[in-house]
C-alpha cells in the first residue's frame, strides 16, 4: 500500500537524451510536488500542482516540464539532459497547499553521463 510511488527508482542516461519520471499517489490528495535534491542533500522545490493546475513553478530550466493527467499523477519530463541534472528527484503530495504535511515518494536517482 505505497502512498506515494515513483518510477523508475534509478535512471542512468546520456547527455542530450529525454527522459520521464512518473509519480502516483493513492492518498486522495489535491496537491503534488516535485523536488530536486542535490549531492549536498539540499532540497529545492521545482513544481507544485493543485487539482491538476500548476501553482508553483520555481526557476528551473524550461527543459523540465511537469504534466498532471489527473489528481493522482504528476509526471516530470526532462528534455536534453545535462550533467547538472544529476540528482535525486522526489515527488510529494499533500491534502492542500503549504500548511499540510507533505508525503514523499522514495525518490528517483538520475545520473547523467
Partner 1 sequence: AQSVTQLGSHVSVSEGALVLLRCNYSSSVPPYLFWYVQYPNQGLQLLLKYTTGATLVKGINGFEAEFKKSETSFHLTKPSAHMSDAAEYFCAVSEALTGNQFYFGTGTSLTVIP
Site residues (vs partner 1, CB under 8 A)? 4, 33, 40-43, 45, 48, 56, 90, 92, 96-99, 101-107
Residues 6+ apart with CB under 8 A from 30: 50, 51, 71, 94, 95, 96
For residues 18 and 58, which CB has a smaller minimum distance to partner 1 in the complex?
58
What is the smallest separation between the CB atom of 80 and partner 1, expressed in angstroms? 27
For residues 7 and 107, which CB has a smaller minimum distance to partner 1 in the complex?
107
Amino acid at each position: 500500500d505505497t502512498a506515494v510511488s515513483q518510477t523508475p527508482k534509478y535512471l542512468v542516461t546520456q547527455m542530450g537524451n529525454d527522459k520521464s519520471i512518473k509519480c502516483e499517489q493513492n492518498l486522495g490528495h489535491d496537491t503534488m510536488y516535485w523536488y530536486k535534491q542535490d549531492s549536498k542533500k539540499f532540497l529545492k522545490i521545482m513544481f507544485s500542482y493543485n487539482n491538476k493546475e500548476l501553482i508553483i513553478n520555481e526557476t528551473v530550466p524550461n527543459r523540465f516540464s511537469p504534466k498532471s493527467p489527473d489528481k493522482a499523477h504528476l509526471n516530470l519530463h526532462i528534455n536534453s539532459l545535462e550533467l547538472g541534472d544529476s540528482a535525486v528527484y522526489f515527488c510529494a503530495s499533500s491534502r492542500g497547499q503549504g500548511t499540510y504535511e507533505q508525503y514523499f515518494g522514495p525518490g528517483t536517482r538520475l545520473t547523467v553521463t
